[in-house]
Amino acid sequence: MKTKIFLLLVLFSEVFIFSGGRALAKEDSHKIYPLRPSRIADYIEFTKGQKRVLAIYVSWCPYCRNKMPDFIKMERMKKGSVIAVSEDQNYADLSKYIKTLKDIPYKVILSNPKGKDTLENALSRYGIQKWNSYPTVILLDENNKVVSQGNLSSNQIERFLFPKR
């Protein structure tokens, strides 16, 4: 429990530092949280205990844009079920895209790699394999074990999150 509280404090302090103590852009309707990949991995550890979908995307990808409404719907159906991480290189492009989505029910996380602290390296501790395309969807069980990874359909994701539907 102490570890989870510590990780949560570290995560929020990093967000506070990155944002200068305020939202990153006052005109944004939704905050974007740029985090180092190791902190993203810590956040995944902190949310352990329920099935989750880790979606790695970029805002310029048409396939990602097509799947985003499904991720939003799933998160509304089951709070805490979606962790979406953008690998956008351009903050302005991501911000512009996020504004088009209006009300996103989960945190918009932007991977902010530094040196060897890449998202790929940070997530390897969970058995997540290198991805070559977007969106990459990773289904994580309650213990952060990878159940499936790839360009999964919305039906596959929903069957994982909501097996009795």
pLDDT in tens, 106-121: 999 999 998 899 999 9
- Report the C-alpha dihedral over residues 89, 95, 97, 99, rounded to 10 degrees: 170
Q: Are 146 and 128 in contact (CB under 8 A)?
A: yes
Q: What's the pLDDT score for residue 72?
A: 96
Give whole-number Cα distances, 96 to 29, 62, 75, in Å: 10, 15, 21
The ranges of the chain with pLDDT < 50 are 6-7, 13, 15-28
Summarize pLDDT for 30-49 with one digit per residue, the tens: 789 999 999 999 999 999 99
Domains and CATH numbers, the chain: 2-161 (3.40.30.10)
pTM, two decimals, is: 0.82
